[in-house]
Each structure stands twice: as structure tokens, then as C-alpha cells.
Amino acid sequence: MKYLVVIVLVAVVCASAVPAPEQSPINPASTYDQDGVTIVSPNQPGWVLIKSSKSETVFEKRLKEEILIANVKTFRTKIFDNDKDLLVSLETLKKEELSKLKRDSVHFNYVRFKGSPCVQYDGIFKPDEASLPRFEYFNFKGYLCRHPETKDLVVQMEFSNHSNLRGFSENLFSLRDDFFEKIVFSGLVTSRESFK
């Protein structure tokens, strides 16, 4: 029985020591379609595709001094009587999500992005030291927008980094803005049932 316990423990330790398979870099400026949105990957080498589904696309680039993430996801919401009620609800949703983090700075603005009503947000937070001990800051900018073809689909677009710099570095401003600019709201291909 002792030998069986030792064998099981050795197997568990060995299994946990096996590194996760490394993902291959994607071609810069590659196009990805998800329901209601067409996304172009950041136009820079070294990015990998972490997730691609009907409702979410996530790109990541890991460097010694920072981790960059660019992502777009869609989700359903109730239909609001007007844009203001929708935007207040989306801001509240994002504030709830961020309430778990240690805030340094955060801003919310109501804007139009490619003709759609959106909550534009940006912020600087302190990451959980247990999850990312080598980085002092989580910097981000994003949009929560109603899809122009339906009143109950929201598109969240976000560009973020984990870094020791407070705020985005100068070289990331154009990369971040280019990522947002190339996002296109497209036709819906799935029914409401696929999001339940």
C-alpha cells in the first residue's frame, strides 16, 4: 500500500512538472471572425492566439518586462429603453468586475465607437501579488458597445498589459489604438439560443 501511495505521488508531481504546450505565434494582422465582430490581430510579431470562439477572441504577447493582452468578447444583455440606461448598466457591470482589484486610477466616458453607443473605460490597477508577483501594474483601455444590428448584444473590446510601468508606454499607444480601429461590427450569424 505504501508503494502505491508513493507511485501515485510521484505520478502527480511528474504530471504537474510537465510544461504546458507552447503556442505558436500568429501572423501579424491576421483576421478572425466571431459572431457580430471581425477582429484583426495586433500588427506586431510574437503574438499568440489564446482563445477563439463564437463569443470571444484573445491574443497575448509575453515579454520579459510585460504581458500584453488584446481581446474581444460578446455577450447578451436585456434590451434597454434608451442608450443612457444601457450605458449606465454597462458601466455598473464593469465597476463590479473591477471592484475585486486594487484601484489606482479608473475613468469611464460615454462615447460613440463606429456609430454605436459605448462605455469607454481605462484604468490602472495593482494586480494580485499571488497571481502576477513580478508586475506592479495592470493597465487597460476598453469599450463596451451595443452591437449596431441588435439591441441585446454587447461587444467588449479591451487592450491591457501587466507591467512595472504605471500606464501604457508610448510605443503601446499606437498598437492599442490600431487594434481598436481595425475592429469591425459585422453581421450576426448565430441565434440568441447559442448564447444561453
The pLDDT of residue 131 is: 66
User: For residue 153, is it within any domain?
Assistant: yes
What are the pLDDT digits (tens) for 119-128? 999 999 998 7
Residue 74 has pLDDT above 90, yes or no: yes
Q: Which helix (H) or strand (E) holds 118?
A: strand 116-126
3-class secondary-structure state, position 180 = helix
Q: How many helices (H) and strands (E) does the chain have?
A: 3, 10
User: For residue 11, is it within any domain?
Assistant: no
Of the pLDDT bands very low, low, confident and very high (cuts 50, 70, 90), residue 132 is: low
User: For residue 15, is it within any domain?
Assistant: no
State which amino acid sits at residue 40.
V
The pLDDT of residue 189 is: 62
User: For residue 8, is it within any domain?
Assistant: no
User: For residue 2, is it within any domain?
Assistant: no
The CATH number that applies at residue 59 is 2.60.120.1690
pLDDT (average), residues 50-74: 96
173's CB contacts (< 8 A; 6+ apart) are none
What are the pLDDT digits (tens) for 8-59? 333 333 333 333 446 778 999 999 999 999 999 999 999 999 999 999 999 9
Domain that holds residue 36: 23-195
User: For residue 7, is it within any domain?
Assistant: no
What are the helix (H) ranges across 21-104? 83-98
User: For residue 56, is it within any domain?
Assistant: yes
Number of domains in the chain: 1
Of the pLDDT bands very low, low, confident and very high (cuts 50, 70, 90), residue 63 is: very high
User: For residue 139, is it within any domain?
Assistant: yes
